[in-house]
Amino acid sequence: MIGLFFRSGYRLAPRRDPRVAIGLLLSVLEGFLVALPIPLIYKLLSDVIHDTSSLHTISFIGAAFVMIALARIFVGAKAMQATFAGTYAMMAAARLRLANHLLRLPLGWFHDSREGDLGARLNADMETVEHIWSHCLGMFASSVAAIGFMLSFLAWIDMRLAAAAMLVLPLSLLALWHGQRTVARAGARALDSAAEMQAELHGYLATLRVHRYNGRFGYGWHRLTQALDKQLQHALALELRPAAWIAAFGATTEGCFVLITLLAVWWVTAGDLPGATLLLFAVLSLPMYRQLYDIGVAATLLRFGQHAMNRIEALLMVPPLPEPATPVQPGRFDIVADHIDFIHAGANADGMDEVPKALNDVSCRIPEGSLTAIVGANGAGKTTLLHLLARFQDVDSGAIRIGGSDVRQIGSANFHKVVSVVLQDVVLFPGTILDNLRLGAPHATREHVMAAARLAQAHAFIEKLPMGYDTELGDQGVALSGGERQRVSLARALLTDAPILLLDEPTASVDPVTDAAVARSLATLRDRTVVMVGHRLHSLCHADQILVLHDGRLVEQGTHDDLLAAGGRYARLWQRQQAPESCPAPCPASPPATHDSSTSTQLQP
C-alpha cells in the first residue's frame, strides 16, 4: 500500500523533490535511534542481575541515553523538516499541474462537471493527500525501521523469542488488512459524499435568491440537509466501522505478547532462558507494541488517502483538447461547418440503443464579415452549434473550418486570437468596470473602451454610475442589473477586436428596445464575422443570413424575407412572436436610429 501510494504521489507531482527521500532516510535513522537504547537496557539489566554493575557503567549508559535522546530529537526534527518541505513543494507543484491541466481541458467539459465536486478534488482531496504524505510516510518508515532493529537485536539475544515475536505480525497484519478494506470502502463513500455536499452547498448559495423569489424557501435547504445528513452518516461509518478491526489489531498484538511472555517465563523456570533476557523482552514489548500501533495507524491512513489520490488522478486522466504539432494561422475568417455530428457526453446514461444526436449532419457556410443568426425552439441545438464553433469541444464527425483550416489544426493559442465569445452566463470580476472591460485587451485606451461600450449600448448607463468607468464592482458585478452585466460582457468581447465574434443570447436580459439597438449595431460590424444565437426574431431579422435549427438539424437558412416567403418553420416562429400578447416591434425596412444617442458603429475613439 505504501509503495502504491508513494508511486501515485510521484505521478501526481510533475517532479520529485529530493527532500522527501532525504526525510524518509532520516526517518529510518530515527527508527534506529528509537531501537538503539535496547542494547543498553540489556547491558544494564544483565549487570544488575549478575551483580556486576558499577557507577562507571551506569554513568556511561545514562550519558549514552542522553546522547541518543538528543540525537533522536535532532534527526527527527531534520526528518520532519525535510519531509514536510519536500511534500509541500511537491503538492504545490501538483496543484499548479492540475491548474495547468484544467486550462487545457475542453470548455465543454466544465459544463458537464459539478463545480462543488471539482472544488473538492482541488481542495479537500489535495489537502488529504498532502497531510498523509507529510505526517504518515515518515512515521511509517520510522516505525518499520525501529521494529526491524528491535527484532534483529532480539534474534541476536535469543532466536526463539525473535521467532515467537514474529508470529505476532501475520495475525496483526491480518486484522489490519481487514480494517484497511473497511476503511477503503467507508473512506471512498465519505470522500464522495463530502464532494457531493460541497456541490450542493455551492448550488444552494448560487440559487438561494431564485428559490426565495419563487417562494421555494425549503427546496434548496432540503437538498442541502439531505447531503449533509448523508455526509454525516458516511463520516460516522468511517470512524465506527473500522473500530472493531482496529481493536482486533490491538488485542491480537497485546494478547500474543502476553502469551509469548508466559512462554518465556516457562523457559526461565525450566532453565532454558536467562532471566535478563526475559526482562529485556518484557521491557521490549511496550515499545514494539507502540511501533506496531503506529504502523497500523499510518497504513490505515495511507489506505484512506488512496481514494483521494485516485480522484485527483482521474481528473488528470481527462484528455485535454488536442493540439496540433504545427498550428496554422488562418488568413481569412469565413466559417464552414461540414456535415458535423455531435452527441453530448453522458447522453447514453439510460442505455438507449440509439443515442439522440445534439447535432445531426449540420452543414453551413458563414461568410467573412457577415452577421449570421441561429434561431430555433428550445433544445434545437443552437447553443451546441455555437459552442462547437467556439471549439468548447470537438465534433464527433465532420469538420469545422475557419478560413479553410480545420479548427483542430489552428491550435488554441491562435484560435483565441481570432475568436471571441460572449456566453449567457456573464462572469465579472471584482474591480472597476474599466478593469473588467480591459480583460481581453489590457492596453486598450479609455477612448477605445468607450467606443466598444457604445457599440454594446453600455456607455450611457456606465456614465450614470457614481464613478463612471472607474466604478468599483462587487463580486460578480452584483451592483449591476442582468441586462447591464450582459452589455458589459458584450463590450468586453468587442474590445478584443477579434475578427470572429460568437454571441450566445448576449441580450437575453435587456429590454426589447435596447436589444434591437444592439442587434443593429452588430449588423454594422462589417470588419468582423458575427454569429449570434437569439430568441427574439425581430432583433435578428437584419442578419445577412438566418440558420434555423430543429431537433439538431439545420432545416432552413436564408434571409428574413426569404424565410418568411418560404412559409416554413421560421415563418411559424415569426408569426408566433407577432401574436398580440407578445407585442414585438416589426422588422423595419431599414435600421432606424440607435437607442443610445452616443452610439458609434466603429471602434474608433
Domain CATH code at residue 291: 1.20.1560.10
**Among 97-111, 305-319, 578-592, whose mean pLDDT is lowest?**
578-592
Residues 6+ apart with CB under 8 A from 490: 422, 456, 458, 503, 506, 507, 518
Same domain, 290 and 378: no
The reply to whether 235 falls in a domain is yes
Question: Is 435 inside a domain boundary?
Answer: yes
Q: Does some domain include residue 597? A: no
Three-state secondary structure call for residue 589:
coil
Is 434 found in the same domain as 310?
A: no
Task: Please tell me whether residues 253 and 380 are part of one structural domain.
Answer: no
Same domain, 440 and 291: no
The verdict on 444 and 299 lying in the same domain is no
Confidence (pLDDT) at 220: 65
Smallest Cα–Cα separation from 438: which of 477, 502, 501, 496? 496
CA distance 524 to 451: 14
Q: Determine the pLDDT at residue 350.
A: 52
Number of domains composing the chain: 2
Does residue 600 carry a pLDDT above 60? no
pLDDT at 4: 58
Residues 192 and 97 in one domain: yes
Could you give the CA distance from residue 511 to residue 506 in angstroms, rounded to a whole number?
A: 12
For residues 378 and 261, membership in a common domain is answered with: no
Q: Which three cell numbers mark 37?
A: 537504547
What is the Cα–Cα distance from 576 to 588, expressed in whole angstroms? 18
The rounded mean pLDDT for the chain is 79
In a domain, 507, yes or no: yes
In a domain, 572, yes or no: yes
Please check whether residues 228 and 163 belong to one and the same domain. yes
Say how many C-beta atoms besides its own lie within 10 A of residue 45's C-beta. Answer: 20
Query: What pLDDT sits at residue 475?
Result: 64
Here the CATH number for the domain that contains residue 432 is 3.40.50.300
Give mean pLDDT, residues 450-478: 83
Is residue 126 scored above 60 in pLDDT?
yes
pLDDT digits (tens, 9 = 90+) for 428-454: 888 888 988 898 888 888 999 999 888
Q: Would the pLDDT of 425 be above 60?
A: yes
**Residue 275 sits in the same domain as residue 161:** yes
Q: Is residue 198 scored above 50 in pLDDT?
A: yes
Confidence class of residue 582 from pLDDT cuts 50, 70 and 90? Answer: very low
pLDDT attached to residue 587: 56
- Is residue 168's pLDDT more than 80? no
* Same domain for 375 and 245: no
Query: Is 588 domain-assigned?
Result: no
pLDDT (tens digit per residue) in 130-144: 888 888 888 888 888
Can you give the pLDDT at residue 243? 67
C-alpha distances (whole Å) from 446 to each of 91, 433, 452, 482, 600 are 42, 11, 10, 24, 15
Rounded Cα distance, 137 and 130, in Å: 11
Residues 139 and 279 occupy one common structural domain: yes
Q: Could you tell me which of 447, 430, 433, 451 has the C-alpha nearest to residue 494? A: 451
Residues 272 and 377 in one domain: no
Nearest-angstrom CA–CA distance, 169 and 156: 19
203 lies in some domain? yes
| C-alpha angle 361-366-370 in degrees, rounded to nearest 5 | 155
Q: Tell whether 358 is covered by a domain.
A: no
For residue 527, give its domain range: 369-385+424-577
Q: Note the pLDDT tens digit of each residue in 62-89.
A: 899 999 999 999 999 999 999 999 888 8
Q: What percent of the chain has pLDDT over 70?
A: 79
